[in-house]
Each structure stands twice: as structure tokens, then as C-alpha cells.
A and B are shown apart, each in its own frame.
Chain A
Amino acid sequence: QQQVKQSPQSLIVQKGGIPIINCAYENTAFDYFPWYQQFPGKGPALLIAIRPDVSEKKEGRFTISFNKSAKQFSLHIMDSQPGDSATYFCAALGGNQGGKLIFGQGTELSVKP
């Protein structure tokens, strides 16, 4: 019940395409869902986050869609660029986890020029 399932494991798109990364969770007590972007050899950087009372959130080219009833959320990257090539992790926080982020397994995104 503590897992966050992320798909796909890897994704290749052409420049300008719209990669979509999906995550699903079981624990309805989760109340905070961040996405992190990580470049090789670097720490994860917070990209965008959402709470379950909101169905969509946009920040620049990044959009989170949230479906509370389905317990799913997804990241869309508009007009993707080669510089977006990185590993993306979804995560969930809340309930009785006491600060423990539950990460998805990650998606390795490659944007081809």
C-alpha cells in the first residue's frame, strides 16, 4: 500500500514532442505529490508538486494532471527539448509516513534533436 508505481521505465521522444509519465498510488492518506528531475551525477531537483484538491497544475512547460478517484497522476512536458533529457521521479508524501517520501522507480527520458 506504500508503493508508488511509475511508468514507463524509459521514454524517447523527438524535440517538440510531449512526453507523458504516469504514476499510481494506493495509500489514500498521501496528500502531497512532487516530481523531481535528476541529471546524471546530480541530486534530484524539485520540478513541480501538487496536492489532491487540485486536478491540474502548470509551471512553464511542465504540467501535472491529478485524478484523485483513480489514484493516478501524470507529468506532461510540453515542447520538450534535448535539455529535458534526465531521469524523472514521481513521489508521494503524507499519511503516517512522518516525512518519508515514497518514490516511483523513475523514468529515463531522452529527447532527440
Chain B
Amino acid sequence: DTEVTQTPKHLVMGMTNKKSLKCEQHMGHRAMYWYKQKAKKPPELMFVYSYEKLSINESVPSRFSPECPNSSLLNLHLHALQPEDSALYLCASSQGLWGKTQYFGPGTRLLVL
């Protein structure tokens, strides 16, 4: 089973709202990732967690706050977003960081009004 699940599928929020995106995998993977994808563009890496510790932060604005409560779960907390943050947010996981296949979830389509 190579499934990564994400909730919600769709999210509409105002610029003053606080919301969270959730990601879950049960493949025993120890690395988890958040990506942002705009239309007709490749995914852009935001954060990488390895063994539940933040490994990479690609200079993402502080209005995005990741959290890895355990090895199976990854959250992305959203606060005071801007309309330009509207995008498809993808979660991925892999066995480890080095040369390992990343499996993507279906994504959360976020619209910021």
C-alpha cells in the first residue's frame, strides 16, 4: 500500500482565518514533505520532516506552520494567508531522505479569499 491521505480535499478561507491541513501515511515512512503547486507548474518544496524533526524549511513565510505530531501524521497550520497562497497543497512521504521514492497524496485545493 503506497497511500498518502490528505484532508480536507478542498478548503476556502478568508485572510483572517486559521485552518489546518492534515496528512497521514501508514507505510512506515520516516520522511514527510509539504509541497505547494500552482496551476501548470511543478510542485515547490516547502518543508521536509525526517524522523519527526524539521529538516528543511525552504524559506516559507511564517503564516505557514508545519507540525509533525508522530511518524504517521503531518499537519500544516495556516494563518493570515494571502490570496496568492491559493494553490494545491501536496503532502508526500518516503522511507528516508536519500534517494528514496516520494509518494504523493491527492492534495488539498486551497482558495484564499
What's the least CB distance linking B6 to chain A, in Å?
A: 8
CB-defined interface of A81-113 with B at 8 Å, one 1/0 digit per residue?
A: 000000101000110001111011110100000
* Known interface pairs A98-B56, A100-B56, A101-B45; A106-B40 also in contact (CB < 8 Å): yes
Report the count of interface residues on B (CB-CB < 8 A): 30
Contact across chains for A99 and B94 when beta carbons are under 8 A apart: yes
Contact across chains for B50 and A43 when beta carbons are under 8 A apart: no
CB-defined interface of B1-27 with A at 8 Å, one 1/0 digit per residue?
A: 010101000000000000000000000
Report the count of interface residues on A (CB-CB < 8 A): 25
Task: Give Cα A27 to B77, complex, Å.
Answer: 34
Q: Which of A44, A87, A94, A106 contacts B104 (CB 8 A)?
A: A44
Q: How many A-B residue pairs have CB under 8 A?
A: 69
Contact across chains for A98 and B97 when beta carbons are under 8 A apart: yes
Q: Which residues of B contact A98 (CB under 8 A)?
A: 48, 55-56, 97-98
Instruction: Tell yes or no: B64 within 8 A of A by CB.
Output: no
Instruction: Tell yes or no: B43 within 8 A of A by CB.
Output: yes
Q: Which residues of B contact A51 (CB under 8 A)?
A: 99
Contact across chains for A89 and B99 when beta carbons are under 8 A apart: no
Interface set of B (CB-CB < 8 Å, partner A): 2, 4, 6, 31, 33, 40-43, 45, 48, 50, 55-56, 88, 90, 94, 96-107, 109
Known: A93-B100, A99-B97. 11 other contacts (CB 8 A): A32-B99, A43-B106, A43-B107, A46-B103, A89-B43, A99-B94, A99-B98, A100-B45, A100-B56, A103-B42, A106-B41
Interface set of A (CB-CB < 8 Å, partner B): 31-32, 34, 36, 41-46, 49, 51, 87, 89, 93-94, 98-101, 103-106, 108
